[in-house]
Homo-oligomer: A and B are copies of this chain.
Amino acid sequence: MAPKSSTLQDVARVAGVSTATVSRTLSNPNVVSESTRTRVSEAVKTTGYRINRAARNLRTQRAHSVLVLLPDLANPFFSEILEGISRELSHRGYSMLIASTKQVHDSGERLLDYLDDARADGMIILDGGLDPDVVSMLENARQTKRILFACEWVEGADFPTVRCENRQGAREAVNHLYSLGHRKIAHVTGPEGNVLMHTRKDAFVAQISELGLELKPEWIIAGDFSISAGCAAAQAWIAMEDRSTAVFCASDQLAMAFIAELSRHGFRVPEDVSVMGFDDIDFAEQFIPALTSIRQDRLLIGETAANMLMGRIESPNTGGDEPIAIIPVSLVVRESTAAPG
């Protein structure tokens, strides 16, 4: 059978020192003498020693891992954020645990258990649509300092947050369409109750009015981030009395589904109507027509979130920490928008 892997004791024996010295050599090399340092290093090599994290975690009361909580694992929007988080975490020797809110809820698992049972040192939540009950549990938890929201957030609750410039993005979208010559601009919103939906919609409305444009009520189409909502929105657009010449969708997925449905009904984008999205997911570039969108740097969002959380975990008392990071967005112009016909 497999020989047990070696422990600090083994290394200590081989090097002829105490376990304390070995431990120190590993975690704080400059407090031991040059000679023991090399002796220990050699012993580590010959024994093939690997630290036992369970033991370390128990002793140090740290899990050296972070939980990332998604609304839905199967949604590609999040993967790049994960990449960013993971990159930053692994730099610092942390691992990344993943769970989806849906699942956690279904299995009756308590979210806080991750923190309470020493499985994770902190959590990054990518879901602003958490149950209010859950949110208030989080707020009252002992570990509030170690919870952070990214991308989405919960209005009213004050957790530190990393988010992109949603307002700015929506305004740029409107400006882009305006500068192409559009004066009748519609908006397909995200899901009711979602913070991003509200932020983007409000900014959209504000910018429309700032430009002095008309905004018919039917030009605000209620949707959500799903594919089917995009199809429904397209039908709503088709049924309009007075159709807008441009449509700003609250997400790329929505925009693509919107365009797809339109095309099934014989409309062409951008000839018949300009359509743009939000997010700039990988696929936007590949879509036909290539999608004009507002780009979120998802890698950066992930990295920033991880960074911020680690800071709070590793030095919990550094007070003046800015609890909000805002990541800039940028307009990416492609083929789905053009001057009105």
Chain A interface (Cβ < 8 Å from any Cβ of B): 2-3, 5, 50-55, 57-58, 61, 63, 65, 72-76, 78-80, 82-83, 86-87, 90-91, 95-100, 103-104, 107, 109, 113-114, 116-119, 142-143, 227, 256-257, 259-260, 263, 282-283, 285-288, 290
Among B79, B142, B287, point to the contact of A79 (Cβ < 8 A): B79
Q: Distance (Å) between the CB of A142 and the closest chain B CB?
A: 4
Q: Which 4 A-B pairs have the closest CB atoms?
A: A76-B76, A2-B142, A54-B57, A50-B116
Which chain B residue shows the least CB distance to A49? B116
Among B50, B79, B109, B116, point to the contact of A75 (Cβ < 8 A): B79
Q: Which residues of B have CB within 8 Å of A75?
A: 79
Considering the chains assembled together, what is the distance between the CA atoms of A109 and B51 in angstroms? 13
Considering the chains assembled together, what is the distance between the CA atoms of A142 and B78 in angstroms? 35
Q: Which residues of B have CB within 8 Å of A117?
A: 50-53
Q: Distance (Å) between the CB of A38 and the closest chain B CB?
A: 21
Q: Distance (Å) between the CB of A252 and the closest chain B CB?
A: 11
Which chain B residue shows the least CB distance to A64? B119
Considering the chains assembled together, what is the distance between the CA atoms of A143 and B50 in angstroms? 14
Which chain B residue shows the least CB distance to A112? B50
Q: Which residues of B have CB within 8 Å of A116?
A: 5, 50
Q: Which residues of B have CB within 8 Å of A263?
A: 288
Considering the chains assembled together, what is the distance between the CA atoms of A73 and B107 in angstroms? 25
Which chain B residue shows the least CB distance to A65? B97
This protein's copies in its complex: 2
Q: Which residues of B have CB within 8 Å of A113?
A: 50
Considering the chains assembled together, what is the distance between the CA atoms of A70 and B55 in angstroms? 28
Q: Which residues of B have CB within 8 Å of A283?
A: 256, 283
Q: Which residues of B have CB within 8 Å of A86?
A: 73, 98-100, 103
Q: Distance (Å) between the CB of A45 and the closest chain B CB?
A: 13
Among B54, B76, B119, B143, point to the contact of A2 (Cβ < 8 A): B143
Listed A/B pairs (23) with beta-carbon separation below 8 Å: A3-B142, A50-B113, A50-B116, A51-B117, A52-B118, A53-B117, A53-B119, A54-B58, A54-B63, A58-B58, A73-B82, A75-B79, A76-B282, A78-B79, A82-B98, A86-B99, A90-B107, A95-B119, A96-B97, A227-B282, A227-B285, A256-B286, A260-B288
With A86-B98, A97-B97 known as contacts, the answer to whether A80 contacts B91 (CB < 8 A) is no
Inter-subunit contact B82/A107 (CB<8 Å): no
Inter-subunit contact B63/A73 (CB<8 Å): no
